[in-house]
Chain A
Amino acid sequence: MNALLRRAGRLAVVLAVVTLITFLLVAALPGDVALDIAGADATEQEVAEIRAEIGLDRSLAVRYLDWVSGIVTGDWGQSWRTGERVWDAIAQRVPASLELMVLAQIIAVSLAIPAALLCARAPDGRVDRAIGFLAFGSVSMPSFMTAVLLILLFSLTLGWLPATGYEPLSAGLWENLRPMILPALSLALVEWTALMRTLRAEMIGVLQENYIALARAKGMSDRRILVVHALRPSSFSMITLLGLQVGRLMGGSIIIEQIFGIPGVGRLLVTSVFSRDFMMIQGCVTFFALAYVLANFCTDLAYARLDPRVRGLGGKAGAHG
């Protein structure tokens, strides 16, 4: 439990650093917000009033502390452009982003596990090589390129799936899933390869273990050995990777949401950057970092539950090293 607490403490420090970096970057953005709000023909007096009103006349340190303490107490500030509360804007867009990422990860895992089983069954065999080459091709195809090709094929040529759009879950499960398939697939087709390779490598190691030899000696079929005995002990690294991938997935979702017009947090960030919506940018980046840190914390917990050897130790040791 002690290690867990230490880790939580470290995460708090990490988040503090993240917010500081974000705040400084946003503060360095060119342009004067007060001038923007006041408009081109405002007098200097009016601009100064607005600046005081939104608190921009205070020092950087005061503004940072004010913003961070707001985050801790649940007040993420307000957009100077649209007047929206930052937290409400983000919370409203979380479901779409979350759905996209979960769906992508489900597709990625369901591609990775069978592929890894096929590979580990006969390492360096013909199937292994073919899948390995396929993985190389897949990972060399960035998600935005996959997205363009998938739209060309499934939306424009075949007309099976819509190219853009989003329907909330309340519109019905299929209506909700239909426009999500192509975006999720675009993300998954990059992510599955790393999962597959990790699982394959670890499984090849596990298959050397004595209890596998015993199972084989008992005459158990290959398939049963792979699925029943080897899969679970081989999946630890892959589960850790699932957590680490949350960061990449969020990065990927930024561009995918943009392409497919999904109203998620990533799209909010992009539009905020283009419109220089300072508070919204700070909020989105902080939210991403928070999500990343929490996801990894949860991965550690899951890891501890799955592997009896680290159970009770409170997760694996230090975050780095």
Chain B
Amino acid sequence: MADVAAPMPAAVEDRHAEAIAAHRRRRRLGPMFWIPAAWLVVLILAAAAAPWLGLAPPDEIDWMAIQAPPGVENHILGTDVLGRDILSRVLHGARVSLTVGFAAPAIGVGIGLALGLAAGYFRGWVDEVVGILIDAWLAIPGLAVLLLFSAVFGGSLSMVCLSLGLLFIPAAARITRAQTLSYANREFVLAARAMGASDARILLREVLPNIVWPLMAFVMIDIPIAIVVEGALSFLGLSVKAPTPSWGGMIAEGREHIEDSSWISLIPTAVMFVTVLSFNLAGDVIRRRFADTREAAL
């Protein structure tokens, strides 16, 4: 029994330590995750705290500083055509963009999840109807639907979130359906059914927990898309109503004066670009991580 307690040969230990180190290296998220994540955290905090940061209100007109370039006293990022503080407007606009960015995918994935579960589990006519609805939904360009929605229901923030959320239903429903199909005939589902579990119980307790995580990876991609589409809508003047600032609206307003006061457009453009890029980069790292762990589990 002595050799059990004996220390491992040095070579084996080395290889072991190496493997652990390699594993840790893989676990580490790296700068491609932390730099974007840091920007997002700062932006989210600043947007949440925007009213209490001591900035001028986003719709306050400073008659002494119309179209002031960045760096001028009291206005770090300058002012727009009406003399409104751009930093304040960017941060208040971030509230709109981030709310839509998180709420719209949540709504869409929620509805898509329900539809996909039903289609994949019950099959038959439910599947057929859901399939036709999704195909029809995909056939109308998203922006056209949104144009109509905003014309019908007006531009309140909750309506923008809801109608944007509808765009995310098809993809979420398709993924859920495919995943449900593959789980619906697995042993543990059969076992639950044999024990007399109801359909609702099987769906919620047996199938759902297995498909939630792959779907989360899709929510990560949907956030920047939602921010971009909200930007496009507000650029066209069809998102939240003025005077509520939004990034797309600010870019559109500055476009008229881009030749002499380019910063009015370029600052919100840069902030939006960095934010969307950050979501994309951080999301990609997390998605890869998921793929890795799933491969390791297999």
Chain A positions near chain B (C-beta within 8 angstroms): 10, 13-15, 17-18, 21-22, 25-26, 28-30, 136-137, 139-145, 148-149, 151-152, 156, 247-248, 250-252, 254-255, 258, 269-270, 273, 276, 281, 284-285, 288-289, 292-293, 318-321
Contact = CB atoms under 8 A, between A and B. Distances in A.
B141 A144 contact: no
B135 A151 contact: no
B134 interface: yes
B139 A251 contact: no
Contact of A15 (B139, B224, B272): B139
Contacts of B236: 255, 258, 270
Given A145-B272, A273-B151, A140 B280 contact: yes
A250 B138 CA distance: 12
A293 B224 CA distance: 27
Contacts of A28: 152
Nearest to B228: A142
A284 B151 CA distance: 15
Contact of B277 (A137, A270, A281): A137
Contacts of A320: 131, 134-135, 174, 177
A136 B273 CA distance: 11
B99 interface: no
B215 interface: no
29 contacts: A14-B135, A14-B139, A21-B140, A136-B277, A136-B280, A140-B276, A140-B280, A142-B272, A144-B235, A145-B269, A145-B272, A148-B251, A152-B259, A247-B138, A250-B141, A251-B143, A254-B141, A254-B143, A255-B143, A258-B236, A285-B140, A288-B139, A288-B140, A288-B141, A289-B140, A292-B141, A318-B131, A320-B134, A321-B131
Given A22-B140, A25-B148, A320-B174, A10 B280 contact: no
Nearest to B284: A136
Contact of A251 (B141, B151, B272, B273): B141
A18 B258 contact: no
B296 interface: no
A136 B143 contact: no
* Chain A CB within 10 A, most for which of B149, B224, B231, B236: B236
Interface of B: 131-144, 147-149, 151-152, 174, 177-178, 181, 224, 228, 231-232, 235-236, 238, 248, 251, 255, 258-259, 262, 265, 269, 272-273, 276-277, 280-281, 284
B251 A284 contact: no
A293 B139 CA distance: 6
Contacts of B143: 251-252, 254-255
A317 B133 CA distance: 18
Contact of B144 (A29, A269, A293): A269
A13 B174 CA distance: 19
Given A21-B140, A292-B140, 19 more contacts: A10-B135, A17-B133, A25-B148, A29-B151, A140-B224, A141-B276, A142-B228, A152-B259, A156-B259, A247-B139, A248-B142, A255-B236, A273-B151, A281-B148, A292-B138, A292-B139, A318-B131, A320-B131, A321-B131
Given A10-B135, A141-B273, A255-B236, A270 B258 contact: no
A255 B181 CA distance: 38
Contacts of A18: 136, 139-140
A153 B235 CA distance: 20
A21 B138 CA distance: 12
The interface centre, meaning the residue of B135, B152, B231, B235 with most chain A CB atoms within 10 A of its CB, is: B135
Nearest to B254: A148
A258 B232 CA distance: 11
A289 B138 CA distance: 9
